[in-house]
């Protein structure tokens, strides 16, 4: 129990760090002051003792030990990916010496790059979890919550945890490797309490309210850029689960046609369809239901939105091919450029 307390409550890199929870409570109180009709739910036993809330609590403890004992040892680190990336660039492009940017500028670029590419990769993986029939079975675990609270963030199947851990290692490792190649190894990020400053700002401004009954929305134009708590709640609805995949930025949803503004969905129903919910109402169900395949389910046609048809594996393959062509183009352009030898 003490380890859990230090790992989550006192760790600024975790979603339920005490300062983030405190700031969310303060924002909630301000919100409820102006929305008196919504006070009843947040202060009711029905919310705090709901079956879904209690399930989040139990699952949080069990999934933590699964993550520590099984998943973490299977993942390779950012350091290994960064070194591998650096060696690949060095082998293909030769040595590069930066003479154009100051140390402060490099830190700013790196901090921004880490935040932007991490958020973009999170968007793509999140969307893939919805569009791929096999992966959607596991992501249903998170969407099975009928009541949202901060611990719902951790209602994630171990396989999905593994995929997001793998995503983090690859993306952060590649970005770090690229920066080491261009700017050397002596750089850091702008941080607060050891956390990327942009992540800290978003967390302190109420990230935990995404999984809560507080229907906090932003100005319409801001919601084209940043994901509001209400937009993420809309994503958890039965009707609009195929919208608002963004982590912190709504830019990706805007660009790829999956954005849903708060003003466009006034009333929502959380969770899965009724016939699906029965498999995700216990800890055992959350862990093992995605692993059980029934013949009837395999023969059912997978229903996807029309805008998903272009977002299958071929789409990602085309992106990968374009990236390869871009790398070749950059390589040819940099040959003989200043700084290379």
- Length of the chain as a residue count: 341
Measured from the Cβ of residue 87, the count of other Cβ atoms closer than 10 Å reads 12
C-alpha to C-alpha distances, 232 to 32, 66, 146, 243, 338, nearest whole angstrom: 19, 26, 14, 9, 47
Q: What is the mean pLDDT of residues 280-290?
A: 92
Q: What is the pLDDT of residues 21-51, one digit of tens each?
A: 999 999 999 999 999 998 888 888 889 999 9
Specify the residue for token string 């963004």. 246
CA distance linking residue 27 with residue 33, whole number of Å:
10
Q: Quick one: how far is CA 298 from the chain centroid?
A: 28
Q: What is the pLDDT of residues 65-107, one digit of tens each?
A: 887 776 665 567 888 999 999 999 999 888 887 778 888 899 9
Q: Which pLDDT band, with edges at 50, 70 and 90, does 326 fall under?
A: low
pLDDT at residue 341, rounded to an integer: 30
pLDDT at residue 95, rounded to an integer: 84
Ordered DSSP codes for 66-128: HIIIIIHHHPPPHHHHHHHHHHHHHHHH--B---S--HHHHHHHHHHHHHHHHHHHHHHHHHH
Of the candidates 104, 228, 119, which has an alpha carbon nearest to the alpha carbon of residue 172?
119
Higher pLDDT, 300 or 280: 280
Residues 6+ apart with CB under 8 A from 296: none
Q: What is the pLDDT of residues 134-179, one digit of tens each?
A: 999 999 999 999 999 999 999 999 999 999 999 999 999 999 999 9
Whether residue 276 contacts residue 294, with contact meaning beta carbons closer than 8 Å, is answered with: no
Q: Which pLDDT band, with edges at 50, 70 and 90, does 254 fall under?
A: very high
Q: Which two tokens stand for residue 151?
A: 């611990």
CA distance linking residue 39 with residue 32, whole number of Å:
6
pLDDT at residue 73, rounded to an integer: 59
C-alpha to C-alpha distances, 26 to 14, 203, 248, nearest whole angstrom: 19, 13, 20
């Amino acid at each position: 129990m003490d380890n859990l307390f230090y790992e989550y409550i006192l760790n600024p890199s975790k979603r339920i760090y005490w300062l983030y929870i405190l700031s969310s409570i303060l924002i909630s109180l301000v919100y409820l002051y102006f929305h008196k009709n919504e006070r009843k739910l947040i202060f009711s036993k029905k919310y705090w003792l709901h079956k879904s809330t209690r399930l989040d609590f139990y699952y949080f403890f069990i999934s933590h030990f699964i993550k520590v004992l099984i998943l973490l040892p299977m993942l390779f680190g950012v350091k290994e990916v960064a070194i591998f990336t650096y060696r690949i660039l060095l082998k293909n492009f030769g040595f590069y010496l930066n003479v154009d940017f100051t140390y402060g500028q490099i830190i700013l670029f790196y901090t921004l790059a880490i935040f932007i590419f991490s958020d973009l990769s999170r968007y793509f993986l999140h969307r893939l979890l919805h569009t791929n029939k096999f992966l959607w079975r596991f992501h249903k675990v998170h969407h099975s919550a009928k009541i949202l609270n901060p611990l719902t963030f951790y209602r994630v199947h171990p396989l999905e945890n593994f995929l997001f851990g793998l995503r983090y290692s690859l993306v952060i490792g590649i970005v770090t490797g690229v920066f080491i190649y261009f700017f050397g190894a002596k750089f850091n990020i702008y941080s607060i309490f050891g956390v990327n400053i942009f992540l800290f700002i978003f967390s302190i401004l109420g990230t935990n309210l995404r999984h809560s009954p507080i229907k906090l929305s932003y100005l319409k134009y801001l919601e084209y850029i940043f994901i509001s708590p209400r937009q993420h709640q809309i994503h958890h609805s039965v009707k609009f689960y195929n919208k608002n995949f963004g982590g912190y930025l709504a830019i990706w949803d805007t660009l790829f046609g999956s954005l849903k503004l708060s003003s466009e969905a006034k009333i929502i129903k959380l969770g899965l369809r009724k016939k699906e919910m029965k498999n995700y109402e216990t800890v055992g169900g959350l862990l093992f239901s995605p692993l059980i395949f029934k013949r009837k389910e395999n023969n059912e046609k997978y229903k996807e939105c029309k805008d998903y048809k272009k977002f299958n594996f071929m789409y990602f393959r085309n992106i990968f091919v374009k990236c390869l062509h871009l790398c070749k183009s950059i390589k040819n352009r940099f040959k003989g450029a200043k700084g290379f030898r």
